[in-house]
Amino acid sequence: MSKPILFTGSGVALVTPMHPDGSINYGKIEELVDWHVANGTDALIICGTTGEAPTLKMEEHLEAIRVAVVRADGRIPVIAGTGSNDTHHCIRSCRSAKEIGTDGLLLVTPYYNKTSQRGLIAHYEAVASATDLPLILYNVPSRTGLDIKPDTAAKLYREVDTVVGLKQANPDMAATGYLASISDIPIYSGNDDLTVPVLSVGGIGVITVLGNIAPTISHDICRLWLDGHTDQSRDLFLQWMDLAQGLFTDVNPVPVKEAMNLMGMGVGACRLPLYPMEDGAKEKLAKLLLRHGLITN
């Protein structure tokens, strides 16, 4: 029996909007959920890297998930980032997210303390034994210092029933291609500037930062490719490449929050230690938004 797929297409790694005092703007989360539903986003990933999960208190983390789940009301899948470098804490977070009603979980590899590939397998097996929610593995070695090797991802997909996908934020396309050659694990690009390359080796979508400001574009790049209109998908992807890369000229999510604020979306600043962009970088970002028609002046 084939495994269920949580979503295909564009899953937006949602920012966590803040009030001026640094508290979470839960009302804005509701607005963003409605906006993404109306603009073609295929899934929402909340409290991940782009959602500033490392600086959220546990009660904030769970409340943000709850608000998104309640507001989505089944209209769009909500996937909660509940990964941790402490397996027991990760399990507690996953169980809490299930109680809230989330549709699935995004599980980053253990960071800082890291582990071996055998330890990774044991970590994910322990989490899977504690919840029946679908699990998307999250591979982002530039942040965690730990890479899920293709053979490890293939083994986890083959042997753990609830592992249903991989967010591949490792830019090594040779590794991604090799994984696709040895396993049918659904792969989501974790980098907007690699969406089409990942789709070209059999990927089924992207977990996107760009989608926070251009949800229809992110959706269309994926949908065109998956529907067989590969030339149109590639052309659209290349047209928006400059902005996709522009959102990573500083530490994510600093630039995308700046872009959203320039667009009048009022998501506030990032929490320290993330720090505002320099004026020159802001000006360059504003020019990109103007070029793509996302702001008018």
CB 148 within 8 A of CB 122: no
Q: How far is CA 128 from the centre of its chain?
A: 20
Catalytic member of 28, 98, 138, 188: 138
3-state SS of 27-90 is HHHHHHHHHHHHCCCCEEEECCCCCCHHHCCHHHHHHHHHHHHHHHCCCCCEEEECCCCCHHHH
Among candidate residues 157, 167, 188, 257, the one labeled active-site is 167
Say which residue the tokens 């397996």 belong to. Answer: 87
In angstroms, what CA-CA distances link 50 with 53, 125, 148, 171, 290? 8, 26, 20, 18, 23
Exposed / middle / buried, residue 221 (Cβ in 10 Å: 0-12, 13-18, 19+)? buried
Cβ–Cβ < 8 Å for 243, 208: no
- Are the beta carbons of 77 and 43 closer than 8 angstroms? yes
Q: Is residue 138 flagged as an active site residue?
A: yes
Q: Which residues are catalytic?
A: 138, 167
